[in-house]
Structures are given as C-alpha cells and as structure tokens.
Amino acid sequence: QKLLAIENYRSEVHIEPAMMMGDRFEGHVVQGHIDTLGTIKEIKNNGNSYDVFIEVGEKFIPFIVPKGSVTIDGISLTVNEVAGNIFRLTIIPHTMRETLFKNYSKGYRVNIETDMFARYVSHILAHQTSSKKETLTWDAVDSMSAQY
C-alpha cells in the first residue's frame, strides 16, 4: 500500500488510448508509470474552476514543475504552482465532472506520474556532475543540450 493507491481502482479507472506513430502530437507526454503517491490536502471551489492542492514526498517534488505536466490517477494535467511539498492544480468544471476528480476529497490518496522531462533532465545532470566531480556550469548545460 506504500507504492500504489489501490483503493482508487475499485470501480473506475481513467484510461486513454496510446498515441500511434503518425498521430498528431499534442498535449502532455505520459508514460503510464506511477512514480509516487500524493495526498489531497485541499480542494477549493472558485466558481468557474477548482484549485486542488496535493502533497508529495520531498524526494519527488523536484519532478513537479510549474507549467509542467503531472498525471493524477491517469489524468494528465498542468501544474500551476509548487510551494514546499505541495503543488496546485486548477481543474475546470468539465474535468471535475468527467474524470475521477469527481470522487476526490481532502485526505484522498492519488497515484502520481511526475513530469517525464524533469526526470530525464535531473538524471542527465546528476550523471554529468557526479561523473566529472565538478560544479555544473552554463557552458556544460549548453554542451549537453547540443548533444541532443
């Protein structure tokens, strides 16, 4: 129960078909992995939207990036804000009605896939700096990005 919020899958699961080669690329890049669990700390109704505040472990917050993507129980969304170990999502009424968000409340545990690009960049930078045992510089970042 530490790695998967299995209680979320008793009756409904959010699934979207995978992108096929040749399909138009739009939206977020999602792999379908579960990186960690989060806990809903607050849901605030703003009238025309809902702010959902989710807490994750300190180890995973570096991969939750403002304006980046995060997947909550298979629902891909944009992160609005990160403060400490809590991030904020803004959910439109349609998403609230038509997805698993309609079931959520304070204290609810959710399965989270963090931003794939943040994970990749973190891994590359950690490898580059640890293998050279030096401080990362902008020249090194430019050099790395030129390799891709």
Walk along the chain (148 residues) and give the pLDDT tens digit of each residue: 456 566 655 666 666 667 677 877 666 666 667 778 999 999 999 999 999 999 999 988 988 888 988 988 888 888 999 999 999 999 999 999 988 899 899 999 999 888 777 777 777 777 775 555 566 677 777 776 666 5
Q: Does domain 32-114 have CATH number 2.60.120.10?
A: no
pTM over 0.85: no
Yes or no: say if 96 and 58 are a contact pair by the CB < 8 Å rule: no
Domain extents in the chain: 32-114, 118-148
